[in-house]
Chain A
Amino acid sequence: MDLKILEALQEDATRTYMAIGKSLGVAHSTVFDRIKRMEQYGIIKKYTAIIDAEKAGTKNIVAIMTIYTDPKESEKVAEKLCNAPEVLEVYTSLSEELQIIAKVIAENQESLHMFIANSVAPLPGVLRIRTSIVTRKFKETQFSIVNDPKKLTFIKETNNKNGGNKRERRDLSKKS
């Protein structure tokens, strides 16, 4: 039930308890209780708006930074990056070397460079940095219950059996 409520909220968080309850066949008080509990447990972190930056008229640039670090300092570097408002996302990755991957937003190429030169390169433990400026976005989505890898596997299997490519996510999630 909680997953179904989460799925409903991720589709449209402005829906009322009543509307969600009606669609799931449960009382609105049940929806209310479960949502409040998930908020308390931090499962629901916050309610926000997904904005199309282009339509909103912003002309910022987005870049992906790969920062090669001294393993002893990588956590501190990652923490420092998290504190910078220019940095949207921070991940660590272990391939041949320890890397930090960060998504950065800047007003233009010059401000991007100044941020990296003045605030990232000087951090202790930074060995070198590779930056790719995003030129075109093909897909951007938040993690969603409907994108749960297990469900995706289920969708693939079902599609293969049926020999079709149609993804009826809502119906499938109701079955699961």
Chain B
Amino acid sequence: MREEIYPKSLRTLPREKAFYFFTSIGNYTGESASSLKEFMEKINHVNIKSLEFHLYRGDFEKWINEVVEDKKLAEDISKLQKANPLGDQLRNQLHMVVSKRYQQLTIGLV
């Protein structure tokens, strides 16, 4: 029952489970996210190339599904990927999808 009070997908992850933002194969930006909240924040300022690189590789969907363990958000990101947004449109839409889910999860927590 505790999980209903504090959803599992809001937990802070250990360093090795964090999401590491790359702009291309092997090129790490130095930005990482250890929680859904941090991920949401990083979307706003990480290099746009990194968002495009990870979205179309399916990395966001995979991390949200397998590590954060939020199937609903993973599905929403998968739908976004199919819409093929680029640039700032991608950044805005991705942020909207993640923040919407984050709000759903945090309602009633405070």
Which residues of A come within 8 Å of B, CB atoms? 63, 65, 68, 109, 112-113, 116-118, 120-122, 124, 126-131, 133
**Shortest Cβ distance from residue B38 to the other chain A in the assembled complex, whole angstroms:** 15
Q: Do residues B30 and A122 form an inter-chain contact, with CB atoms below 8 A?
A: no
In Å, the complex CA distance between A128 and B47 comes to 13
Q: Do residues A129 and B25 form an inter-chain contact, with CB atoms below 8 A?
A: no
Chain B interface size band reads 10 to 19
Of A63, A109, A121, the residue contacting B28 (CB under 8 A) is: A121
The answer to whether the Cβ of B26 comes within 8 Å of any Cβ in the partner chain is: yes
B contact residues around A124 at 8 Å (CB)? 15
Q: Do residues A122 and B18 form an inter-chain contact, with CB atoms below 8 A?
A: yes
Known: A127-B30, A128-B30. A122 touches B20 (CB 8 A): yes
**Shortest Cβ distance from residue B63 to the other chain A in the assembled complex, whole angstroms:** 10
A117 to chain B: closest residue by CB? B20
Q: Do residues B25 and A112 form an inter-chain contact, with CB atoms below 8 A?
A: yes
B contact residues around A63 at 8 Å (CB)? 26
Q: Do residues B15 and A117 form an inter-chain contact, with CB atoms below 8 A?
A: no
A contact residues around B27 at 8 Å (CB)? 129-131
In Å, the complex CA distance between A124 and B32 comes to 12
**Shortest Cβ distance from residue B16 to the other chain A in the assembled complex, whole angstroms:** 5
In Å, the complex CA distance between A128 and B27 comes to 8
Q: Do residues A113 and B25 form an inter-chain contact, with CB atoms below 8 A?
A: yes
Of A68, A112, A121, A131, the residue contacting B20 (CB under 8 A) is: A121
A contact residues around B60 at 8 Å (CB)? none
Which has the most chain A C-beta neighbours within 10 Å: B16, B20, B26? B26
Of A109, A118, A120, A126, the residue contacting B25 (CB under 8 A) is: A109
The answer to whether the Cβ of B29 comes within 8 Å of any Cβ in the partner chain is: yes
In Å, the complex CA distance between A118 and B27 comes to 13
Which has the most chain B C-beta neighbours within 10 Å: A116, A120, A124, A127? A116
Of B16, B18, B25, B28, the residue contacting A128 (CB under 8 A) is: B28
B contact residues around A68 at 8 Å (CB)? 30
Q: Do residues A113 and B22 form an inter-chain contact, with CB atoms below 8 A?
A: yes
Q: Do residues B15 and A122 form an inter-chain contact, with CB atoms below 8 A?
A: yes
B59 to chain A: closest residue by CB? A117
Which has the most chain B C-beta neighbours within 10 Å: A68, A121, A128, A130? A121
In Å, the complex CA distance between A131 and B23 comes to 11
In Å, the complex CA distance between A130 and B30 comes to 10
In Å, the complex CA distance between A133 and B15 comes to 27
B53 to chain A: closest residue by CB? A113
Beyond known contacts A127-B30, A128-B30: 14 more, CB 8 A cutoff: A63-B26, A65-B26, A68-B30, A116-B22, A116-B26, A122-B20, A124-B15, A128-B29, A129-B26, A129-B28, A131-B26, A131-B27, A133-B25, A133-B26
